[in-house]
Amino acid sequence: MLDRLKQLFRKDGKQTDSVPQISASADIKTSPLADEKSDGAGESSNARMHPPQFIVGCAQSVGRQRDHNEDTLFCMNTILADGGLDMPFGVFIIADGMGGHQFGEVASGAAARVMADYVIEKMYMPFLRPEVNRSSESVQEVMEQGVKAAQLAVTKTAPGGGTTLTAGVIVGEQLTIAQVGDSRAYFIYPDGRMTTITKDHSLVRRLVELGQITEAEALTHPNRNVLYRAMGQSEPFRPDIETRQLPHPGYILL
């Protein structure tokens, strides 16, 4: 896998212009473009950018009930392009610290940082540093080993704490997802359809699968926040890992 990617990524550097910051309180007014001025700007479904790239956004909120975050996010969206075979690369991670547990925010931070560091070191740095030994592991093997490293970091830095971990690595047209817990990943299509591409490791999801409760009952079940698999737990586990083709057109939501 990496040998193939090595052929596609060659050394080159492009500096982009910085985007000016606009205050959230700024009074900005817009108006629609006239038809003769739009020049098809809104017709993006068939548009192709070169080099191919992802348009990415991320946000974080403490919500309405708590005074601090226990979740961590990581977003890396990059491309190396030499005018030949160009391929985008992205690493996207969310980790939701276990509410009510000790060191929930420490656990989520450790999991996200170590997972990101492992994946980038194994999959991306060989493209920037030719002297770095390339791994013969597949993307899925790298993801599984990354989860193991993150699990070890959580147990060391946040004993008694826990976190979910959902990590996506995009290479070209393929998305590989590694998941532990109940932080979900979705495909979203232009017609509004949403498809869940992960499986919750929760008690209520298991009860639904066994036919003991309905989907509607799961939404209000008193144990709906109980997980049977999470980072930081003492019992051994394996993450759910799978590779899918990206939706075209469409979006990914973690």
pLDDT at 9 over 50: no
Domain presence at residue 171: yes
Domain presence at residue 16: no
Q: Read off the pLDDT of each residue in 53-74 and give the average, rounded to a whole number.
A: 87
DSSP letter string, 1-14: -HHHHHHH------
pLDDT at 73 over 80: yes
Q: How far apart are alpha carbons 115 and 164 in whole angstroms?
A: 12
pLDDT in the model for residue 38: 43
pTM of the model: 0.76
pLDDT in the model for residue 42: 45
The beta-strand segments (E) located in the chain are: 71-80, 87-96, 165-171, 174-180, 186-188, 194-196, 240-245, 251-253
Domain presence at residue 194: no
pLDDT at 3 over 70: no
pLDDT tens per residue, range 89-135:
999 999 999 865 668 889 999 999 999 999 999 998 887 776 766 66
- The whole domain housing 144 covers 51-59+69-79+87-180+231-253
Select the highest-mean-pLDDT range: 41-55, 67-81, 122-136, 154-168.
Answer: 154-168
Residue 176 belongs to domain with CATH number: 3.60.40.10
Beta-bridge mates of residue 174: 171, 245
Domain presence at residue 203: no
Question: What's the mean pLDDT when you consider all of the chain?
Answer: 81
Domain presence at residue 34: no
Q: How far apart are alpha carbons 146 and 113 in whole angstroms?
A: 10
The larger pLDDT score, comparing residue 129 to residue 24, is at 129
Look at 18-27, 48-57, 68-77, 210-219 and tell me which has the smallest mean pLDDT: 18-27
Give me the amino acid identity at 143: M
Domain presence at residue 106: yes
Report the Cα 92 to chain-centroid distance in Å.
3
Total structural domains within the chain: 1
pLDDT tens per residue, range 153-211:
999 998 888 999 999 999 988 999 999 999 999 999 999 999 999 999 988 888 888 88
